[in-house]
Amino acid sequence: MPLHPDAALPAAPEPPDPGGKPLAFSRAERDAVYRAIHERRDVRSQFLPAPVPDEVLTRLLTAAHHAPSVGFMQPWDFILIDDPEVKRAVKALYTGANEQAARLFGGERGELYRRLKLEGIEDSPLNVVVTCSRTRGGPHVLGRTSSVDMDLFSTCLAVQNFWLAARAEGVGVGWVSILDEQELARLLQLPQDVVPLAYLCVGYVTEFLPEPELQARGWRARLPLEDLLHRNRWTPRGPT
């Protein structure tokens, strides 16, 4: 049976050690990995103005750059934005897109949507845009011949690496998804074959919330893991 997210981790069996170096992390190292996963948050409102030191930022970007990628294509680039004018221009794009999005939700849901703070573009000292080059590796990339979007999926893994490393460093990250991709690409003067996959707000924070903000505010709860498990074939479920 799967563990409850807050349950204590059982002692892992030691795997074979053919090369003289332990294959499993120590208990403390494993706990640190799981802590980063469970305590990662999408930060919007808790940013401090202090800049992230270059050596810390380099570690985060290096972690992102060590993400797995299909065919080892490494399709990501990173645009670092700290210019207030560029931030203001991006914030204007967000405001327009968010006004359109708000009209999709009516009644109490719409009222709650309008109360949510969904970005920290100007609040965070640094914005990081993770892009995906859709032609990197050439016209035929190993492992991408059947699914052409594997470059996008690979870039998402770079974002996750960045986010988890940031949590371990005490640095907050917030993903701003309410942006028109084409307008953002024009603003950032991206080449035609490069798409902006993730717009991240980055900086030290006053706190990491004990639970995801959307869950705490009543927008949506975490689904039970046992309701999402299937074996061998899809098991029909009720509405979610």
Decide if pLDDT at 25 tops 90. Answer: yes
Query: Domain total for the chain?
Result: 1
Helix ranges (H only) for the chain are: 27-39, 54-65, 84-102, 107-115, 150-168, 181-187, 213-216
For the segment 176-184, the average pLDDT, to the nearest whole number, is: 98
CATH number at residue 119: 3.40.109.10
pLDDT at 100: 96
Structure tokens at 233: 């074939």
Q: Any idea of the CA torsion for 87, 176, 33, 7, to the nearest 10 degrees?
A: 140
CA 146 to chain centroid: 25
User: pLDDT for 92-123, tens place per residue?
Assistant: 999 999 999 999 999 999 999 999 999 999 99
Q: What is the pLDDT of residue 236?
A: 85
The average pLDDT across 60-83 equals: 98
Least confident of 3-17, 45-59, 153-167: 3-17
CA dihedral (78, 205, 99, 159) in degrees, to 10, reads 30
The Cα 19–Cα 158 span in angstroms is 29
Is the pLDDT at 137 greater than 80? The verdict is: yes
Residue scoring higher pLDDT (4 or 43)? 43
CA geometry: angle at 127 spanning 125 and 129, to 5°?
170
| Residue range of the domain that includes 88 | 43-206
Q: Is residue 38 part of a domain?
A: no
User: CB-side exposure of 228: number of CA atoms within 13 Å?
Assistant: 6
Q: Check residue 237 and give left, alpha or beta (phi > 0: left; psi -120 to 50: alpha).
A: beta
- At 11 the pLDDT is 60
In a domain, 152, yes or no: yes
The pair phi, psi for residue 81, each rounded to 5°, is -120, 115
